[in-house]
Structure 1
Amino acid sequence: MTERSFTVLENEWITLKDGTRLSARIWMPDGAGQDPVPAVFEFLPYRKRDGTCLRDESTYPVFAAAGIAGVRVDIRGSGESDGVIDGEYTPLELANACELIAWIAAQSWSNGSVGMMGISWGGFNCLQVAALRPPALKAVISIASTVDRYNDDIHYKNGTHLSAQLSWAATMLAYQSRSPDPELTGNRWKEMWLERLENEPFFLEEWLTHQRRDDFWKHGSIGENFDDVAVPAMVIAGWADGYRNTPIRAVEGLGDKAKALIGPWVHKYPHFAWPKPRADFTGEAIAWWNRWLRGEENGIDTLPQVRAYILDGIRPAPRRDVDPGFWIGKDRWQAPEMMNFYADQFRMLIPGNPIPGAHDHDRYIRSPLDTGTASGEYFTLKPDVEMAIDQRGDDAGSLVIEGEVLEADLDVLGRPVLAMTVACDADRANLCARLVDVHPDGTATRVSFGVLNLAHRDSYAEPQAMPRGEKAMVRIELDACGYRFRKGHRIRLSISTSYWPMILPPPTDPGVSIDMASLGFALPKLGTHDRITVKEPDDPDPLPHYIEHAPAATQRSVTRNLTENRSEYRIHEDTGLFEHPGNGLATRQLREELWSISPDDPLSMTGVSTWTCDMRRPNWFVRTVSTARIACSADEWLISAEVKAYEDEAQIFEKTFEKRIPRDFM
């Protein structure tokens, strides 16, 4: 196909019905005024001018060369857009998105068909907008997203409190505190900046007032009613990311409307993600848009319903550039056949079903509260120690149940399930179950994990205290995985009552008794499939290169102060100082995050995340410093935050937040 020339409209103002002016960057195929084209729309708070420009410039020029316009719009209060953001995926945000889709479809250069796309926030809201059925929206591509905002996002997971909730609140505080670019807004930039600084919310406060799966989380969760989505959806994720469940859940819920692609990747677009192999995302996306926005019969709709990369006996490492494995396709996804295991009295994992009462053996487990430092982060941006590392350290504080050496390869695809009867002497406790591949040399690779707050064992909306002195049946569905356990390896099930710092501890640390005779563990078999190939991108280095003034740096460390009986998990992220060669804007972000806990005191837990964000041009410099904190008492979450802003080294603004929020079965 002949590539079309195109023009980049660096900033286009779009005025909403309420008068708010939003800022858009548009990649426009030349000649679209005479030969209208379809458009792909992305709607984010991550700042098109400096936050997402790298990935935008790896994707939208390719679309435009294929005759598809790209429209990247900053949500209100972000980048150069007017106003102040009002939260995540709010009714106002989604209504604005529908209005923007109608605006795009009405332009003289548009053929009236719009697609919506994005990763993470943009992956979330394109599915949510699809459920609202704006007439011009014909298809979506959703990457690293969720259909269940309560259980499959960075806030809560099966009733447990994810530490990523503080991390993300700190991130959003930093992003929303940053200045517009005066080159685009002119003299209004400082007035707009001060309005944001004064009025931006501290998201953590709202999130913590909804600790149950209530209407707040049901809003925007398309899993509440998959039938609301009527357009085709390509749903993509990576096994190394926290959003790995969504592609399979989407095809289960959306049926023939959905296609799933799951690779080995972290939280990145597939054409530049790690670990490799990558996928030709832009090529597939163009075919997808041409099929659904142009009506081109190109065969993209005949792809297998599920394509997945099966990881083949991978080894955890400080960095994973390439993961061994193979691609499979399933023309139609069906619930997998499960391979069942039980635990005998010797803590061996035995194929077969549990036999209640076969042995009278309860096992009490109370993990040190710093068990979990090998977990990595909930969503991963780099293929280094943000991913789970060797599990032997965490397994030392866990109940370990292990199978015999495998006599043949075992391939799995889907969600493992653990069911068992437990008891504890408190109204709540956390459990973490991990599926681990044990290599012949003892190296332990985490394949999947699941967590549960026992008070949420029967309902996330109406948690109930554990019956003290009585046993209760619990079920933990682990995250989806695609994996080959090799001949000569062992399958390990590791169970702990802590998984810090990924999940925050309950107010007491009672430990849990497990009825071993009741324990049943099931692995989803890969089942019928075809070996397939997934094309890799033609360009092995699709991201543009900016001018480097200071290098990036990253560091994660765990420190255990034996004298003070305290463990610390520290994160240092420095993006380096880079200048965009086209607009001259140079930016740098520094993140310092520290989690601390005493291994025997759940109320000692603290977390603090500080972001320093710089923007500069010759004769112009602004900085914001944002800090978010969390601590706890037996009855409350204690949160606070502050934002300071500087212009040319002089402080011009300071604001603080502080709140005590009752714990609600957490």
Structure 2
Amino acid sequence: MTPRLVQGHELPKSVDVHHAWIPMPDGVRLHARIWLPTDAHEQPVPALLEYLPYRKSDWTSVRDAERHPWYAGHGYASVRVDIRGCGDSDGVFDDEYSENELNDGLAVIAWLAEQPWCTGKVGMFGISWGGFNSLQLAAMKPPALKAIVTVCSSDDRYDNDVHYVGGSVLGIDMTAWAGTMLAFSSRPPDPQHVGDRWLDLWRRRLDHVTPPLLTWLSHQTRDAYWQRASVCEDYSAIEAAVLAVGGWADPYHDTVLRLVENLSAPARGILGPWAHQYPDRATTPGPAMGFLQETLRWWDFWLKDIPTGVLEDAALRVFLEDSRPPVTAPGDVPGVWLATEWPAAAMRPIALPRASVPSRDDWVIVHTAQHVGVDSGKFFPYGNLTDLAPDQRADDGRSVAFELFVAEKNVTLLGNPEVVLRLDSARPRGQIIVRLCDVAPDGSSRLVSRGVLNLSSRQGRDRVVPFTPGEPETVRVRLTGLGVRIAAGHALRLVLSSTYWPWVWPQPEAGPLRVHLPSSSVTLPILDPARTPERDEVRWESAEHSAVAEPVVLHQRRARGPDGREMSQREIRHDVETGRWRLLVDPAYGGSRTYPHGLVYGEEVHEAYAITDGDPLSAEANSRWLVTLGRDEWQVSLRTEQDVTADANNFRVRARLLAEVLSADGQEVVETVADRTWDELIPRTAG
């Protein structure tokens, strides 16, 4: 359902928009857009901060306009700040969640609290990056920060972010997001805000930029680099009140469960069916909720001392999805809302039944083709038409499957399954991937949970311990949390594979694995049938956004792929002669558009992933970005390329950055501001 648009005259307060430069201790200035109630100087209000690298003047401006004016109209100073070296802020960007970023964040919070229009109380919110740094800054205890709302974020930078999963390199998003951040951190500021300084600022950014993948791949275990700013290292450091929000289709949803369980500060969780989006946006899967109204209850209690009853809410309000077809864009999905404490379900062990492949002396061999995983879906579903994993029958058939049970009546699973395997590896390196699928009577298979274990990290993510072939060990694989009601007549299927491309990068020379069935099991979080609601225990208001007086004009244009033709969002190609599998992706981040302030923004992105059967060293991941920005006579262009391959000993990262000033019509190059290339080898340690 499309959110209702709230016109300015419907808001309790009228709103003005201001731009401000916020000084940092080292002299760098960050640029801020502030939506402020018109009477805030006479009646000061609390401040809400969203702090991002994603460019408020263009990339997030649509999303910003949906919520910042709404908050301001309800009596808050709603503030959007570009991180150092990004968007219109001064300085250079160094890395995600860097010491500079977090120290600047502390300075911004202090500055907001000191403004004459502010009561001295500050809240912070954000989705993804903004949700991450909300948690991280809360752990640094700035006195003015009283409460946060963190959406689709993670408390664990190593094992629950875009870099690694289960100790394995994320092939699909380690590389794609690194390419994205290379493009983001290389864009110029807007002359409308920085004036004639824009070119000098851009040159400085381009001189400083480094492909982030070089850093991320240099830390293949959970070392100090990842521990810093992972709030799971010390949950007790957070004292501000935390409302954690996520969606089952988002890869970060387990953070909601961990925060609710582990925080000593006041904490509540909301976990719905959503993708990597704010849950008031009309994307799939839905339905959407009145997120702004619900967060207003949070802010009013913690920042205005209004008794809104938020502490009377259940620790976790969670959507239990019903069995449904495995489609990539399901729209609003069926299910029911549960209000519960956490944890909620009892853990029930189940022995592994007969496998889908022959076994010998109670051992089954897991040795799957390199292209198992082509139906894994997008790591970050944004609500696009092809984001979710499709029917899993093909990948199930290429793997080793176990039908755990056929439900005689509805069975509700809520929590994190865990698989225990007695396992032997034919090589010192390898990985095991576990999936759980809801299988309908017609044979269709819907992915509901999965887990990855790099065998070298089985004794801890902070170390590399090669496997000794011929010496079986017991390993544990924790799967992602799920909240599903398996319908009567449906089966729950457990699936094992030794490969999962492009979700995880294949290990070199990985050989067959053997699993001893009598010594292996799966433990499922099964909710007491008496506790499974028949009707919603939670009611939400309908979603609404602030209306934009001058809407952005979208230019519907698809990305052009490596062969120059327009792409679909997701395409799988198989060259039968060579055995080469190729996945082409247009991530459809937002596309080209014209903004009310006259900026014309162009964006073309494509990703490609390829692998050849029988050859784990044939894996290749590519990222391509083309961005154009223009207003009147100001026209610029930015291209980035990134290619990742690996041999048995090293990852190889090749990248290029080309930044140009164009003629007024955008057709000719006036100046090449930067043309930089990188070609570097990074030793494979855990990866």
Structure 1 and Structure 2 fold alike (TM over 0.5): yes
Which among 293, 300, 304 is matched to residue 290 of structure 1? 300
Distance 1:33 1:521, change over 3 A: same
Distance 1:538 1:631, change over 3 A: closer
Q: Secondary structure at the match of 1:584?
A: coil
Matches of 2:13 and 2:152, distance apart in 1: 30
Q: Find the counterpart in structure 2 of residue 324 from structure 1.
A: 334
- Structure 2: gaps of 5 or more residues: 1-9, 560-567, 663-667
Distance 1:258 1:171, change over 3 A: same
Q: Find the counterpart in structure 1 of residue 238 from structure 2.
A: 229
Matched residue type, 2:237: D
2:86 paired with 1:78 = yes
**Equivalent residues of 1:114, 1:136 under 8 A apart:** yes
Q: Find the counterpart in structure 2 of residue 664 from structure 1.
A: 685
Deviation, 1:397, is 1.3
TM-score by length of 2: 0.93
**Equivalent residues of 1:6, 1:27 under 8 A apart:** yes
Q: Secondary structure at the match of 2:252?
A: coil
Deviation, 1:255, is 4.5
Matches of 1:388 and 1:380, distance apart in 2: 9
**Equivalent residues of 2:643, 2:654 under 8 A apart:** yes
Deviation, 1:441, is 0.6
Superposition map of 1:471-482 within 5 A: 471-482=472-483
**Equivalent residues of 1:277, 1:536 under 8 A apart:** no
- Structure 1: gaps of 5 or more residues: 349-357
Which among 138, 141, 160 is matched to residue 152 of structure 1? 160
Matches of 1:159 and 1:564, distance apart in 2: 31
Matched residue type, 2:650: E
Q: Find the counterpart in structure 1 of residue 258 from structure 2.
A: 249
**Equivalent residues of 1:359, 1:517 under 8 A apart:** no
2:611 paired with 1:597 = yes
Matched residue type, 1:274: T
Q: Secondary structure at the match of 1:395?
A: helix
Deviation, 1:21, is 1.0
Deviation, 1:606, is 0.8
Greater shift, 569-578 or 64-73, is seen at 569-578
Deviation above 6 Å: which 4+ runs of structure 1?
Answer: 540-544
Superposition map of 1:121-270 within 5 A: 121-163=129-171, 164-255=173-264, 257-270=266-279
Deviation, 1:420, is 1.1
**Equivalent residues of 1:128, 1:220 under 8 A apart:** yes
**Equivalent residues of 2:293, 2:541 under 8 A apart:** no
Superposition map of 1:423-462 within 5 A: 423-462=424-463
**Equivalent residues of 2:236, 2:265 under 8 A apart:** no
Matches of 1:316 and 1:540, distance apart in 2: 31
Matched residue type, 1:181: D
Q: Find the counterpart in structure 2 of residue 308 from structure 1.
A: 318
2:43 paired with 1:41 = no
Superposition map of 1:492-531 within 5 A: 492-527=493-528, 528=531, 531=536
Superposition map of 1:642-657 within 5 A: 642-648=656-662, 649-650=668-669, 651-657=672-678
2:309 paired with 1:299 = yes
Matches of 1:515 and 1:2, distance apart in 2: 64
Deviation, 1:406, is 1.5
Distance 1:347 1:371, change over 3 A: closer
**CA offset digits 1:576-632 (Å, max 9, x no partner):** 321112x11111211111111111101111111011111122222111000111100
Matches of 2:475 and 2:547, distance apart in 1: 47
Greater shift, 583-592 or 473-482, is seen at 583-592
Q: Secondary structure at the match of 2:183?
A: helix
Q: Secondary structure at the match of 1:132?
A: coil
Superposition map of 1:499-648 within 5 A: 499-527=500-528, 528=531, 531-539=536-544, 545-551=551-557, 554-573=568-587, 575-581=590-596, 583-648=597-662
Deviation, 1:647, is 1.3
Deviation, 1:404, is 4.1
Distance 1:315 1:545, change over 3 A: farther
Superposition map of 1:300-379 within 5 A: 300-330=310-340, 332-334=341-343, 336-345=345-354, 360-379=361-380
**Equivalent residues of 1:87, 1:201 under 8 A apart:** no
**CA offset digits 1:496-552 (Å, max 9, x no partner):** 111100111001120210101111111112344664133143438978841234445
Matched residue type, 2:233: E
Matches of 1:442 and 1:383, distance apart in 2: 25
Greater shift, 399-408 or 507-516, is seen at 399-408
Matches of 1:315 and 1:430, distance apart in 2: 29
Which among 30, 36, 39 is matched to residue 31 of structure 1? 39
Matches of 1:274 and 1:191, distance apart in 2: 42
Q: CA RMSD in A?
A: 1.8
**Equivalent residues of 1:507, 1:634 under 8 A apart:** yes
Distance 1:576 1:378, change over 3 A: closer
Q: Secondary structure at the match of 1:211?
A: coil
State the aligned residue count: 654
Matches of 2:213 and 2:24, distance apart in 1: 28
Matches of 1:420 and 1:281, distance apart in 2: 41
